[in-house]
Amino acid sequence: MDTPPSSPAGDAFARLFPGESIRPVVPADLAAARAYLDSLTKPVGSLGRLEHLAARLWAMAGGARPLAVEPGLMLTVAGDHGIARQAVSPFPQAVTRQMVANFLAGGAAINALCRCNGLELRVVDAGCAGGPFAAHPLLLDRRQGDGTADMSEGPAMSLATCEAALRAGFALARDARERGSRCLGLGEMGIANSTAATALYCALLDLAPDEAAGPGAGAEPARVARKARLVAQALSVNADAVARGPVESLAALGGFEIAVMCGAMLGAAARGMPVLVDGFISTAACAAALAIAPQLAGYAILTHVSAEPGHARAVKRMTERAAPHAGAPDWGLPLLALGLRLGEGTGAALAWPLVRSAAAICNEMATMGDAGVSATEKDRIS
């Protein structure tokens, strides 16, 4: 089948995932959740943003109770980038593969945080340089190639490869739900992937390269300036593809791991699962997913604000576009602000206990009536 020349939002989702849909969250469910939360044995609104999160989980479930967010699954998706040869990162490309080996050996931050917080972890090879890894119980092989091409010289990948990566990610989420997972976290690993994420923010959210570019894995100012120049070059070289739509933009500027994460976010939302979005690179995948299917906003939970300077700017621009579909006044305010800039899914793993806690207050707290507690006149009026 020939690929259509363009993929506007909505049309792209239907073409990529025929027969699938993402149920929009509806105001009635959010209102019902808030009314129930107000009836619990506490002053109205006294659990703050935890109540906002609980209301969102209620709406994601379509009002079905008890809220089921466990077990949770973290997918740390790895891939290599051709732009790495332009020295945009202080680390060599070989570190991607070395860190995947570290994940599989259980020695990385994401391993420790998943163990600590009760999250299952799987590592996805979306396309690391050096060929396939040996089989391992934690490893999922979804390779799309041996790393992308250099986006400053042309498209990072073909449109067909990008679509295959999106479908692979969608299938990962579908399969996870069929195996019992009820919440999906997304993290990544890939030397130079902050450069790809920067380019996507510029293409999808109309940010300027010098606004979005940052130190990534610790680049010094001269290297950050070089990164911004190369992003501007990539945007120019791939301008025709960027103009055609979000999937074409993802193919031209993204990475295998970013495309797989984007597909997984869409797949999780199509199964009604909350999606825990990690930092700078995972949020770029979310921006692409929102451009393909705005309804994703109802299921995407921004877990932390990255120390990467462009992240807050990107989230602000995303929020303007996501607000009509999110159903939450604080959608663009990430749950945590800890100065994190590691990636891997670490921020999402740290936010996971908050998601469990939000579900628990809905599932386990008594109402005023059940507990025989007299509400104040103020509470009754509220």
Q: How far apart are CA 167 and CA 13, in angstroms?
A: 10
Say how far residue 89 (Cα) sits from the centre of its chain. 22
pLDDT of residue 382: 45
pLDDT for 323 equals: 79
| Residues 223 and 87 sit within 8 Å (Cβ to Cβ) | yes
Distance separating alpha carbons of residues 354 and 317, to the nearest angstrom = 25
Place of tokens 């906002």: 52
- Give the containing element (helix H, strand E) for 125: strand 120-127
CA-nearest of 310, 93, 287 to 214 is 310
**Closest of 352, 359, 163, 173 to residue 271, by C-alpha:** 173
pLDDT at position 10, please? 58
Give the three-state DSSP class for 326. helix
Q: What six digits make up the tokens of 376?
A: 């104040």
Task: Give the pLDDT score at 6.
Answer: 39
Q: How far apart are CA 205 and CA 66, in angstroms?
A: 37
Cis omega (within 30 of 0) for bond into 66: yes
Tokens of 13: 């989702």
For residue 77, report the phi and psi dihedrals to the nearest 5 degrees.
Answer: -105, 130
State CA 374 to chain mean position distance.
43
Residue 261 has, within 13 A of its CA and on its CB side, a CA count of 39
How much is the pLDDT for 374?
Answer: 80
pTM: 0.94
End-to-end CA distance of the chain: 58
Tokens 């999160």, located at residue: 53
Token couple for 207: 């940010």
| 138 burial type by CB count under 10 A (0-12 exposed, 13-18 middle, 19+ buried) | middle
Reading the chain (382 residues) residue by residue, the pLDDT tens digits are 233 333 445 589 999 999 999 999 999 999 999 999 999 999 999 999 999 999 999 999 999 999 999 999 999 999 999 999 999 999 999 999 999 999 999 999 999 999 999 999 999 999 999 999 999 999 999 999 999 999 999 999 999 999 999 999 999 999 999 999 999 999 999 999 999 999 999 999 999 999 888 777 777 888 889 999 999 999 999 999 999 999 999 999 999 999 999 999 999 999 999 999 999 999 999 999 999 999 999 999 999 999 898 999 999 999 988 878 887 888 999 999 999 999 999 999 999 999 999 999 999 999 999 889 986 644 443 4
Output the pLDDT for position 376: 63
d(CA 53, CA 159): 36
| Distance (Å, whole) CA 167 – CA 263 | 6
Active-site option among 51, 344, 364, 377: 344
Provide the β-strand partners of residue 273. Answer: none
d(CA 68, CA 283): 24
Candidates 212, 195, 94; CA nearest to 150 is 195
71-357 has CATH 3.40.50.10210 classification: yes
Is residue 220 part of the annotated active site? The answer reads no
The full set of domain ranges for the chain reads 71-357
Contact 65, 73 (CB under 8 A): no
CB 167 within 8 A of CB 266: no
